[in-house]
A = this chain, B = another copy of it.
Amino acid sequence: MVDTLSASEPLEADEVHTPLDLEPKPRTAAIDVDWLGRDLLGTWAERRLAARAKAANPDYQRIPNQTMAEHRARTFGQLQLLVDDGAVLVAFPKELGGGDDHGGNIAGFEELVLADPSLQIKSGVQYGLFGAAVLHLGTTYHHETFLPPIMRFDVPGAFAMTETGHGSDVASIGTTATYDVGAEEFVIHTPFRGAWKDYLGNAAVDGIAAVVFAKLVTQGVDHGVHAFYVDIRDPETGEFLPGIGGEDDGFKGGLNGIDNGRLHFDHVRVPRLNLLNRYGDVAADGTYSSPIESPGRRFFTMLGTLVQGRVSLDGASAVASKAALAIAIRYGSERRQFNAASDVEEEVLLDYRRHQKRLFTRVAETYAMSYAHERLLTEFDGVFSGRTDTPEAREDLETLAAGLKSLSTWAALDTLQEAREACGGAGFLAENRLTLLRADMDIYATFEGDNTVLLQLVGKRLLGDFAKQFRGASAAHLAQFAAKEFAGRAAAQVGLHQVAQDVRDLGQPAPASRALRTTAVQRELLTDRVETMVAEIAGRLRHVPRGDAAKTAKAFNNVQNELIEAARAWAELQQWKALTEAVERMTGETARVMTWVRDLFALTLLERHLAWYLANGRLSGTRAKVVTSTIERLLVKIRPHALDLVAAFGLEDEHLRAPIASGAEGLRQAEAMAYYEEQRAAGTLPTPEKQAKRG
């Protein structure tokens, strides 16, 4: 049992405490902000710093309250600026003048969210989706023919995958590309309204071409989804080419610098060579061929080349969370509230326990997101550079990207909102950026894969890995499942003894608190939860008859909520591991404080899922209460280092651009205090009524 693991860390002087002992100690030593800042920047630090220099340039920054048309025009111009700066070549092949630096490319683009998320996403559409599809799904002809004007932004393009009738479900799209052997052309066609391409950046106004995903049909056989390079507008007039039509998606909840729109095709003909044919080709005579035999695997391989979108959203979410926390914590460290104006020893907002819990738990989460993203980006770079490009590595990369992207895009929204509320009315003003950033990033939760759908993919992967353990041993397999399930129930009973033991522990929370702050106990608790949840779901699915699609679907529906929770638990574990590995590299006071941050992250996860740990006998009621009281103690320990922790995010005033985070509030408070001091000294301060009555 986890609860009985002996703690290996020495007892700290402040370990034995009463609830009133939660005083922050004066900060005796400081963390090494410069070192920590460099460490957070990671492998592609130079790319990130270069991008941050751009984000600090007003030409790249959003102007609030522009009309949609003005904002679109500005973002378009910024894309051209990026080209002029040579910033867009990084990921493209060396032979085309590129840098072949896949990780560095993503790292740089992520930071552009500091300038304007519309800029990040518009360049993501052009280079990460449209250009990347030509690069990764096309072959030499396509690279040589189409990429140079794409890279120069001479040909803005749309990535025409999603359809009105099918969002994240790409396999079900309705658009067809039927091979006409006589003309040696594909005929791209939209058969009904639901098959219109929708929500496409660059489609409403700017797009000259598009990579269109359609079901490839040749010789009467439907070979599934493939990508085609299609010219859509006359570059001179901006008019749609014959057979092509579309609509503007119009004003959106955010990202209004991007011209999202719809496209439809009425028997539009493109040359046979416009099929991006890396994973599937059609010969002049109509014969289909592919290096990947299974249509299912082929489809997922093609889609897998587009994982970089998810990777970059994960990184951008970490960057946005850093900005939100830097703004709210700087403000909270100056803002005073609910104190007599005449009292000079007032507390600032950040001294309030609630404020600490709201913000510091999210600082810890953001550090975890940031280090987990670095691991994801490293895996991505390994696969896309070819160094570690195996089917297994690709599968692992996709699973990690799906899990981390889901958690971090939701976390960014949550953090931006909490920071907004923590700044009160000032947080609502556009000038302080939190509301507009949140509005822009809202869509991150459902684009490049709906988070709920992505977590189900992760969950199915976990189930698959679990099942692999029993492959080929069908009878043993069932027995194992059953044993596992029994083990789960047994654990609940074992928990009884533990609870009984803990009753004797009452009043001795220190050993429990210490145990909960060890790496081994945290790892055990977080890992055990993932494994147990997956085993339980597998157990619930074991009676489903093989090959019965309807019953399988129904059974999966009945465990859908649990499966998503298991996937979330797995992704949280990955974040915890990445943060722990990072902290283990640290030394001195930085290590000491960052260990508290890591502990706060772990304990926040335990608190979030405390019901599970209790219901499954992993933690006793007494221990559970220690989780919460230990969090409170960590908040107090972290308080003196809060400004340092956000300073290490490395964001300057030009990145935050929030008047409330500029020190103005501190100056106002000082002015107010000086006024009262002066009045008091001059004897001109009116007597409060209460005091006048007494006197």
Interface residues of A (CB under 8 A from B): 19-20, 22-23, 64-65, 67-68, 162, 164-169, 172, 174, 178, 191-195, 198-199, 215, 217, 220-224, 249-254, 256, 288, 295-296, 336-341, 347, 351-354, 357, 413, 417, 420-421, 424-425, 427-431, 434-436, 438-439, 442-443, 445-447, 450-453, 489, 492-493, 495-496, 499-500, 503, 506, 540, 543, 553-555, 557-561, 564, 607, 610-611, 614-617, 621-622, 624-625, 632, 668-669, 671-672, 675, 686-690, 692
Contact = CB atoms under 8 A, between A and B. Distances in A.
Contacts of A339: 169, 172
Contact of A253 (B164, B165, B430): B430
A209 to B, nearest CB: 22
A443 B430 contact: no
Helix, strand, loop or mixed for chain A's interface?
helix
A221 B164 CA distance: 69
A252 B337 contact: no
Nearest to A172: B341
Contacts of A254: 428, 435
A443 B428 contact: yes
A295 to B, nearest CB: 5
B672 A429 contact: no
A111 to B, nearest CB: 23
Given A251-B65, A337-B169, A442 B430 contact: no
B446 A425 contact: yes
A439 B435 contact: yes
Given A352-B560, A425-B447, 17 more contacts: A20-B554, A23-B554, A65-B250, A194-B668, A224-B689, A252-B435, A253-B438, A353-B557, A353-B560, A421-B451, A424-B446, A425-B446, A427-B446, A428-B442, A492-B622, A495-B621, A614-B614
Nearest to A456: B354
A169 B338 contact: yes
B561 A354 contact: yes
B65 A65 contact: no
B671 A540 contact: no
A621 B632 contact: no
A690 B622 CA distance: 57
Contact of A221 (B169, B543, B668, B692): B692
A174 B251 CA distance: 42
B492 A496 contact: no
A193 B668 contact: yes
A220 to B, nearest CB: 6
B194 A671 contact: yes
A446 B671 CA distance: 26
Given A421-B446, A499-B496, A611-B624, A429 B557 contact: no
Contacts of A506: 489
Contact of A337 (B166, B199, B296, B428): B166
Contact of A686 (B222, B251, B687): B222
Contacts of A430: 250-253
Max chain B C-beta neighbours (<10 A), residue from A168, A428, A616: A428
B561 A672 contact: no
B443 A425 contact: yes
Given A341-B172, A452-B354, A675-B192, A251 B64 contact: yes
A306 to B, nearest CB: 16
A222 B679 CA distance: 13
A20 B553 CA distance: 11
A560 to B, nearest CB: 4
A429 B614 contact: no
Nearest to A357: B561
Contact of A687 (B220, B493, B496): B220
Contacts of A561: 353-354, 357, 632
B560 A172 contact: no
Given A68-B65, A446-B428, A687-B220, A668 B165 contact: yes
Contacts of A690: 295-296
B429 A249 contact: yes
Nearest to A64: B251
A266 to B, nearest CB: 15
A167 B354 contact: no
A611 to B, nearest CB: 4
B425 A198 contact: yes
A67 B67 contact: yes
Contact of A431 (B67, B220, B250): B250
Given A169-B337, A198-B425, A669-B165, A689 B493 contact: no
Contacts of A435: 252-254, 439, 442
A166 B672 CA distance: 11
A299 B336 CA distance: 21
A689 B193 contact: no
Given A67-B65, A222-B687, A167 B668 contact: no
22 contacts: A168-B337, A168-B338, A168-B424, A194-B669, A194-B672, A221-B686, A221-B689, A222-B686, A224-B688, A252-B429, A253-B430, A253-B434, A253-B435, A253-B439, A353-B558, A354-B452, A492-B503, A558-B632, A610-B611, A614-B624, A615-B625, A616-B621
Contacts of A671: 192-194
A222 B690 CA distance: 9
B253 A420 contact: yes
A405 B425 CA distance: 17
A419 to B, nearest CB: 12
Contacts of A428: 252-254, 442-443, 446
A496 B164 CA distance: 55
A564 B191 CA distance: 56
Given A425-B167, A668-B164, A191 B439 contact: no
